[in-house]
Structure 1
Amino acid sequence: MFSYFTIESNLFVLAVAVVLTVRPLADGRGWRVVRLDSLLGFLITGLVYAIVLAPQVHLTGAALVATIGFHCVSPWATVPAWLLLGPRPRLTWGTVGWAFAWPLLSLGYIFVQGAFTHWYPYPFLDAGKLGLVFAALFKLLDRKLKPLPS
């Protein structure tokens, strides 16, 4: 389950919500990164689900309820809650840079474990298919770009 970015995002938001409930003015370098990751993770989760995954899944019962909660309610409540409640200002450009560590590590983990298990949590992250797409893209670019002198 932890291979799913959605689950990781929900855990980030849960941790942030608990800390902010106990310490509404929590702050610190690491905290700022975690807070921004909770926002970025849920924004990415909500958008990817709405644009890419929702048209492909047709769930019912408990799976539908969980999907609505994890992919729709939580992401689209987290960002407005930050807009309304803050705390702000907390973000620096350093925070922004470090906030990309988790999504990149998560993506790296998905590709490494997928290479061994041949399972990817999201169909659009299959490294074999992506590799073919990117190879074809590079081939097209190679033909279209201006030649470089030898």
Structure 2
Amino acid sequence: MRILVNSLRLIAVIAVVVAVVAQLQHAVVSGNFRFWNFFGYFTIQSNLIIAGALAAAVVSSSRRRSATRVDLVRGAATVYIATTGLVFNTLLAEAALAANFDLPWASDVMHKVIPAYAVLDWLLFADRGRLVLRQVWWFLLYPAVWLVVVLIRGATDGWVPYPFLDPDLGYGVVALYALGVAVFIALMGVLVVGMSRLRIVPV
């Protein structure tokens, strides 16, 4: 079972890398590539974070060592990628996102396949330690920093990664959207903590 789980995680890591590189190459060829814009998307960052977390989990598992920090990072990464999947498929599926996600199969990998896999991986496979509720606050730190950077960029150079963060909507509206996403991240964090106590498939 351990070999199967690690193989699935490696496939997920490879899928993320291939999708990101393919979309990056497509953006460069189309002439719409801007480094800070492309890598400023929460989608790109959360996919790279979950890929790194899954890779670390494979290494930890292959060494048969308990890795509390890896579990915490993977839990946080699961929250972030789940947020990516939900927000994109509810708020952004019909939105135009410049030329950064116009490669359909790569977009599906990053917004649908990987979010679904990451949540199932965390739920099903019992090779992670138990997290505690107070760690949910750590899950909010990275999204908060990301949001501050995005709002600063929106107010200065006018670039925002997603339409619902556009300052032209009014900062009251943006604040409501940001609050909604923050609440979702917190609730997802609580759910991830709860799932960490389950032992469905021994690994």
TM bracket, shorter-chain basis: 0.7 to 0.9
d(CA) in 1 for partners of 2:113, 2:122: 14
CA contact (8 A) 2:71 2:128 kept: no
The answer for the alignment partner of 2:79 in structure 1 is: 40
In the alignment, is residue 53 of structure 1 matched against residue 92 of structure 2?
yes
For 1:65, the equivalent position in structure 2 comes to: 105
Question: Which of 127, 131, 144 does residue 91 from structure 1 map onto?
Answer: 131
- Of 78, 103, 106, which aligns to 2:143? 103
Counterparts of 2:54 and 2:174, CA distance in 1 = 39
Deviation at 1:97, TM superposition (A): 1.1
- Paired residue type of 1:10: N
The answer for the alignment partner of 2:12 in structure 1 is none
TM value normalised by structure 2? 0.59
Q: Deviations over 1:50-86 (max 9, x none)?
A: 1011123599xx7101100110111011100111114
Normalising by structure 1, report the TM-score: 0.77
Contact 2:60 / 2:67 at 8 angstroms: preserved in 1?
A: no
Output one character per residue of 1:32-58: Cα deviation in whole Å (capped at 9) or x when no partner: 442222111111101011101112359
Between Structure 1 and Structure 2, whose CA radius of gyration is higher? Answer: 1
Shift of 1:87: 2.7
Aligned length: 133
User: Once the two structures are aligned, what percentage of the paired residues are identical?
Assistant: 33
2:55 corresponds to which letter in structure 1? V
- After TM superposition, give the deviation of residue 91 of structure 1 in Å: 1.0
The answer for the alignment partner of 1:112 in structure 2 is 152
Q: State the secondary structure of the residue aligned to 2:39.
A: coil
Give me the whole-angstrom Cα distance separating, in 2, the residues matched to 1:8 and 1:131: 24
Q: Specify every segment of 5 or more residues in structure 2 that has no aligned partner in the other structure, as ranges.
A: 1-37, 176-203
